Amino acid sequence: MPTLDPLLIGEIDPPQRLLMGPGPINAHPRVLRAMSADLLGQFDPEMTHYMNEVMALYRPIFGTQNRWTMLIDGTARAAIEAALVSLVVPGDKVLVVDFGRFGLLLDEISTRIGADVHRVSAPWGKVVPMEAIGEAIARVQPKVVACVHGDTSTTMAQPLDGFGALCRATGALSYVDATATLSGMDIAADRWGVDVVTGGLQKCLGGPSGSAPITISDAAAEHIFARRHVEQGIRRDDLRDGLGPRIGSNYFDLAMIMDYWSEKRLNHHTEATSMLYAARECARLALGEGLEARYARHAAAGRAMSAGLRAMGLSLFGDDAHRMTNVTGVYIPQGIDGERIRTAMRTHFEIEIGTAFGPLQGRIWRIGAMGYNAMKHKVLLTLGALEACLSAEGVKLPIGAAVPAALAAWHA
């Protein structure tokens, strides 16, 4: 393996690329500025005050009054794993609502935990009817039901009104992964009756990957605290172990993390200070804009992107009735190398669009417009660049049709 002389490695200077894929996206400048603030000790009163502010800021974003609303240090997947490893006891029946790659991820993580996993599935490009979910719950009698809200692999959003009630009717706890939709589509943990919802910063919230918001209902908190086993070196008289089986991860042990975020301030880990600043500023931006206005902006961007792509003569992937507002799947024209187009977009325009996974790899692009990038001019630039790159590859297009169609749809 060749060795590198560290003296020849220059200062990092990434290209100023417009990230219009399914995430991550460009972070808002205010978030980047917040991340440059001075660090604090994890038990400094100013730091714990910021932690409490974060909890308050994320409750309306999750649509909840849950006390246990906080951050997991790590990417969005860290919160997914923390939720599942803390809810699921090995041997438990888990029902996964599966309509794409990230539903399959919930299956994967639950299987690794040792759960007895069952799935209720829909083909990629569709969602699972609520009746089918209810029938599967009645048949399986799971301890936990897990679902993705918006699955970026298929660009579909699963309706969730009534989901929590179906789970509660059989005594099951419910979990929703809202990584791709938090602050871009309506997230209503309390109205949905869902026990745990997790997210990430790098999509609609307009931040960097590395911190994962989570909200936990009182019922789920009771279940989690029944499994509390405080590590030996930080045991205290005011912390009692639960009678349930110990959670199978130390880092992702929600019982200890919740004690860290509570007035107990358990020394579970060192909080990722700069990421907490980022998460705090993401939430301030979302609430400052107003959630309804923010949802409308994402919906306008999604409408415009879809209209522009169709005006080019391209076909969209998936069911229009359940399309995510912030990510659009579009079929790659016959005979075109999708990666050549993505390379041309980066090379000529400094714009990145997304590839696809699994059965859709090489068949569709996934084009995002979310967070700081759900802006009219960024949608129009992306459509214009894609039109130019496709035309250069010999695709016959109605040149100039995409941008006017997108403009009209934005204001529809």
Confidence of residue 9 (pLDDT cuts 50, 70, 90): confident
Q: Is residue 243 scored above 90 in pLDDT?
A: yes
Q: Is residue 1 scored above 80 in pLDDT?
A: no
Lowest-pLDDT range of 40-44, 275-279, 399-403? 40-44
Q: What is the mean pLDDT of residues 122-133?
A: 98
Dihedral of CA 345/347/352/353: which sign?
A: positive
Whole-prediction pTM value? 0.96
- DSSP state letters, 180-207: TTBTTB---HHHHT-SEEE--SSSTT--
* 3-state SS assignment for residue 378: helix
pLDDT tens readout for residues 263-289: 999 999 999 999 999 999 999 999 999
- The first and second tokens of residue 258, run together, are 């919740």
Q: Is residue 236 scored above 90 in pLDDT?
A: no
pLDDT tens readout for residues 291-310: 999 999 999 999 999 999 99
Q: What is the mean pLDDT of residues 312-334?
A: 97
CATH number assigned to the domain covering 29-286? 3.40.640.10
The tally of CA atoms less than 13 A away on the side-chain side of residue 347 is 8
- DSSP state letters, 307-347: HHHHHTT--B-S-GGGB-SSEEEEEPPTT--HHHHHHHHHH
pLDDT tens readout for residues 24-35: 999 999 999 999
Confidence of residue 130 (pLDDT cuts 50, 70, 90): very high
Percent of the chain whose pLDDT exceeds 70: 100
Q: What is the mean pLDDT of residues 115-135?
A: 98
pLDDT tens readout for residues 193-235: 999 999 999 999 999 999 999 999 999 999 999 999 999 998 9
Q: Is residue 3 scored above 90 in pLDDT?
A: no
Q: Which fold has domain 291-410?
A: Aspartate Aminotransferase, domain 1 (3.90.1150)
DSSP 251: T
Instruction: Map out the domains of the chain as residue ranges.
Output: 29-286, 291-410
Q: Is residue 69 scored above 90 in pLDDT?
A: yes
Q: Is residue 412 scored above 90 in pLDDT?
A: no
Confidence of residue 378 (pLDDT cuts 50, 70, 90): very high
So what's the pLDDT on residue 239? 85
- The first and second tokens of residue 227, run together, are 């499994």
Q: What is the mean pLDDT of residues 115-139?
A: 98
So what's the pLDDT on residue 7? 76
So what's the pLDDT on residue 6? 76
Give the residue with greater pLDDT, 11 vs 154.
154
Percent of the chain whose pLDDT exceeds 90: 94
Cα gap 312→314, rounded to integer Å: 6
